[in-house]
Structure 1
């Protein structure tokens, strides 16, 4: 029977899917190149043809995930008939729903080891992929708000960068708290995250020249849902 030769793009997608499944099950640092080769049935030479390294594969996963989220969220940020604040809030609210639907909390938990010092460069690269993709949309919304008189800032792109920086900082805070050496109860994690989100919301309002409470932030119930997916455990934080 003749061997079936798949197109490179199709095979790359398959390898990405198989690698993501491994990362979700075992965690990024616990998956070796040999594990990736075994699960994908790919030779080392073929793997390097698709991805120069394990890090390059993770970068490709981040690019794919960011592109999928962008395709879903861009129409929300650009909705017609809404003012800039309404568009911004709709986009921020929708980003939570999209990320939950895409399994972002589980993926974040699987990639938690990227926060370790030896993986910092790769983590920063992943954050940059997301920020570069969404920066033009955020900049356009904020610039439109300035034009409408809804926002008051002299640097729309800079404000967009700050909003994205808050999101990146929140991810680090959440994963770092969950992976602290000393056991932390889910309630304590929840309290820390809700307090930090309130701070970021107020900071966003003030750099946009808005009254406190104008921009949406995740509520306690939404944060609790994220924590449950990131680290399934009893409310008291004890291991099951």
Structure 2
């Protein structure tokens, strides 16, 4: 999709973020154990080192999309590579909210922590729009229930269930989890 001919830059950027979300949901069972360790406060340096290692790989891909948008007059970015690096660096700002959501699993604070994480991710998307000179709502950075889907799949894997076990339910059910206590959180910014 990212390389599909004929796509405008904004469509391509939304496809970039959609692909990142899809990977997070699909890989949730494998990522959950990593997330549980990575997002602990004592592992902040490791988290930042991983970002520092991954960003140079992703930044050129994002920069090509931003350059296309600059040429189309869609994105107001004088330096697409710098803009891409800044957009990716914003991903580090979700670490604390993610850590709180993971730490709240199975507690009364779970739904609130997940809501705070989702709010942080929505604000991240708004910040990206402003960096690129886009009107609010141009980018689909996070979809409803993406965070819930990531945690739901990770939780099912931990219990040895398949992804087809049980019904989908609504967002409130996902936020509360079984017994109204376990959250459906765990989405590290769309990366």
TM-score between the two structures when normalised by the length of structure 1: 0.58
Shift of 1:106: 4.1
The runs of 5 or more residues in structure 2 that have no matched partner are 157-176, 184-191
Instruction: Please give the per-residue CA displacement for 1:120-174, whole angstroms capped at 9, x wherever unaligned.
Output: 4333222222211111000111011111101112222222123222333335422
Q: Does 1:234 find its partner at 2:158? A: no
Partner of 1:142: 66
The separation in 1 between residues aligned to 2:105 and 2:23, in whole angstroms, is: 31
Question: Where does residue 192 of structure 1 map in the other structure?
Answer: 116
Aligned length: 163
Return 5+ residue gaps in structure 1 as ranges. Answer: 1-75
Partner SS for 1:144: helix
Whose RCO is larger (CA < 8 A, sep 6+)?
Answer: 2
Aligned to 1:166, which of 90, 97, 100? 90
Preserved CA contact (<8 Å) 2:98 2:117:
yes
Answer whether contact 1:190 1:220 (CA < 8 A) is retained: no
Alignment partner of 2:36 out of 103, 108, 112: 112
Aligned residue for 1:183, secondary structure, equals coil
1:220 alignment partner in structure 2: 144
- TM-superposed CA distance for 1:112, in Å, is 2.7
Computing the radius of gyration from Cα coordinates, the structure with the larger value is 1
1:11 equivalent in structure 2: none
One of 82, 89, 104 as aligned partner of 2:7 = 82
How far apart are the structure 2 equivalents of 1:114 and 1:164? 18
* Residues 65-90 of structure 1: CA deviation (Å, up to 9, x unaligned): xxxxxxxxxxx322211111110101
Pairwise CA distance, 1:208? 0.8
Q: CA RMSD in A?
A: 2.8
**Cα gap change, 1:172 to 1:127, in 2 (>3 Å):** farther
What's the counterpart of residue 162 of structure 2?
A: none
Task: Give 4+ residue runs of structure 1 displaced > 4 Å after superposition.
Answer: 230-233
1:128 is matched with which residue?
Answer: 52
2:19 pairs with 1:94? yes
CA–CA separation in structure 2 for the residues paired with 1:235 and 1:155: 50
TM-superposed CA distance for 1:217, in Å, is 1.8
Q: Which has the larger share of helix?
A: 1
User: Against the structure 1 CA distance between its residues 213 and 181, is the aligned structure 2 distance closer, same or farther, given a 3 Å change threshold?
Assistant: closer
CA contact (8 A) 2:39 2:95 kept: no
Secondary structure at the aligned position of 1:79 is classed as coil
How far did 1:219 drift?
A: 2.0
